[in-house]
Structure 1
Amino acid sequence: MSVALLTEYVSPQVLNEVSKLDKEKQEKLINLFLSQKKNKGLAIGLSVVGLHYAYLQKWGLFVLYGITGGGFLIWWLIDLFRVSGLTVQENDQIVYRLMSVV
């Protein structure tokens, strides 16, 4: 498998780190990542109803978001634009966790 499969899910810095691994480790990492990755489209869809923090497993923010009604809808509006970047950040963290295992 090619590192190019990761381009739509992770940041360029992470792609650079993965490309430094040998081919066998890259293949293992990519297979594991593809089974655990977070989908931007799903995260954006869930953000409309305020469930994106739960999907991204940020439980403290999820509870706070719910209690404040999406930050009195101001936080909700801002997150509609931020959720794609939040998803990339979560995917970056997934790759780094997997790199320590592989």
Structure 2
Amino acid sequence: MAKGYWIGRVDVTDPEVYKEYVKLNAAPIAAHGGRFLVRGGEFVPSIGSARERNVVIEFPSYQAALDCWHSEGYQAALKVRLPVSVSEQLIIEGYDGPQPGDTTAG
């Protein structure tokens, strides 16, 4: 079963309120098996526009990623974040197929 991911790009307009969002999102993300692969950090915009924060969260399945997004806990956190941020976010299914250089593919 393929993993699921949240990919977000965010500009924050009120860092203090955003900190409250971070506190509120921890429980629903953990409850759905989510773990941060990218959370802020240094980056180089290589093509197109950039936002100040980039986030990638991995979930054990695509369904878990969807369930977390729709959970009551995450929706409550999101209500705190939306007024103090501009963002793009997507939920995407991971890929389990052959990789470049994979010699085991038949």
TM bucket, shorter chain: under 0.3
TM-score (norm 1): 0.26
Larger helix fraction of residues: 1
Larger strand fraction of residues: 2
